[in-house]
Amino acid sequence: MANIKDATTGTFENEVLKSTEPVLIDFWAPWCGPCRMVAPVVEEIAKEYEGKVKVMKLNTDENMDIAIKYNILSIPTLGFFQSGQMVDRIIGAVPKKVIVEKMSKTFSATSAN
C-alpha cells in the first residue's frame, strides 16, 4: 500500500483540496466487509495511475467531519476530487473496470496523457 496515503481531517485540505493532480479517495472503515473487498482494487489503481492520479484512503470512523461534509452515507464510497471539489463518486464495491471507466470520464485530461 506504498502508493496510498491516509487522508485525515488534518491533512485533507493540503492533500486533497489543494492537490494539483486529480484525487481518488476511498472512504472506508475497518469493520466494513465491502470496503475490504474493494481495497485491493484501489491498490492496483494506485500503482497503475501513479503520477497521474493521487489515491488516498479516509477512515470515516476517525474522520467523521469530512464524511459528513461530503455526505458519505454508505461505504465504501470512492470520491473523485479535482481542483478542490468532489466532482463524482461511486458508492459500493464495484469491479475495477467500472472505477477505471469513471476515472477516465471524470479525469479526462488525466487519461489523455
Q: Residues 53, 103: contact at Cβ < 8 Å? A: yes
Helix or strand holding residue 34 (H, E)? helix 33-48
Q: Rounded to whole angstroms, how far apart are CA atoms 58 and 79?
A: 10
Grid look-up 472512504 returns 27
Is 35 a residue of the active site? yes
Residue in 35, 46, 53, 67 annotated catalytic: 35
Q: Residues 42, 26: contact at Cβ < 8 Å? A: yes
Residue in 16, 23, 25, 32 annotated catalytic: 32
Is 113 a residue of the active site? no
Q: List the catalytic residues.
A: 32, 35
